[in-house]
């Protein structure tokens, strides 16, 4: 008798476990996702949980880990991240990525990465509204304390760093549970001191 009760409890537990996993999977399937780097980006996941699945952002993910920023980008935020692709990092002078990933350059790497982040949830429409209100440009303060200028090139949002280099948003509004990612085609850099 005890054995049949135990089997019933195990069967019920398994049914509940499978049911809750199925519910979570159904919920994720109903979310409005955006494809980035061959992977669906789920609005119910945080920035790091989504970014690690994009094959186009492996360099960015490695840099975030090396800079010790994983916890920060998993926190509540909200954050707006201009996320450079691997191809964007490839545009940097040869050896740059390897140099900034060295442990002794952690502070420099943190400065570069946080220069790509705004405090707050700025959808493309918010950025465009600010650009129009600013008669063609809008200036945003980054988490690193620097500034990025935003403008329109046709219908695309372009950000410009303090050195005059620009980066185009190629995939806007990749919603996250703790903010939004805008995929960009070039790494932007703070002004060198």
pLDDT over threshold 60, residue 26 = no
So what's the pLDDT on residue 34? 85
> How high is the mean pLDDT of the chain?
86
pLDDT in tens, 149-159: 999 999 999 99
Q: Which of 130, 140, 136 is nearest to 151 (CA)?
A: 136
So what's the pLDDT on residue 21? 45
So what's the pLDDT on residue 128? 96
So what's the pLDDT on residue 74? 87
So what's the pLDDT on residue 87? 95
pLDDT over threshold 50, residue 119 = yes
C-alpha dihedral, 59 to 60 to 65 to 68, nearest 10°: 140
DSSP per position, 90-143: HTSPTTHHHHHTSGGGHHHHHHHHHTTEEES---HHHHHHHHHHTTT-EEEE-T
CB-count exposure of residue 88 (10 Å: 0-12, 13-18, 19+): buried
Confidence category of residue 31, pLDDT binned at 50, 70, 90: confident
Strands 179-184 and 79-84: parallel
Please give the average per-residue pLDDT across 147-169, as a whole number: 95
* pTM assigned to the model: 0.83
pLDDT in tens, 39-90: 888 899 988 988 888 999 999 989 999 998 988 888 888 999 999 999 999 9
């Amino acid at each position: 008798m005890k054995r049949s009760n135990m089997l019933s409890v195990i069967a019920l537990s398994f049914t509940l476990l499978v049911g809750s996993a199925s519910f979570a999977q159904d919920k994720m399937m109903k979310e409005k996702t955006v494809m980035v780097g061959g992977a669906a980006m789920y609005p119910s996941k945080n920035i790091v949980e989504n970014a690690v699945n994009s094959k186009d952002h492996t360099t960015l993910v490695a840099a975030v880990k090396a800079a010790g920023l994983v916890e920060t980008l998993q926190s509540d935020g909200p954050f707006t991240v201009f996320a450079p692709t691997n191809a964007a990092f490839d545009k940097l002078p040869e050896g740059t990525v390897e140099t900034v990933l060295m442990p002794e350059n952690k502070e420099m790497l943190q400065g570069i990465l946080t220069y790509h982040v705004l405090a707050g949830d700025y959808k493309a429409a918010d950025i465009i509204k600010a650009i129009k209100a600013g008669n063609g440009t809008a200036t945003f303060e980054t988490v690193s304390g620097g500034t990025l200028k935003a403008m329109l090139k046709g219908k695309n949002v372009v950000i410009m760093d303090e050195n005059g280099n620009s980066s185009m948003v190629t995939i806007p509004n990749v919603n996250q549970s703790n903010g939004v990612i805008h995929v960009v085609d070039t790494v932007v850099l703070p002004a060198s001191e």
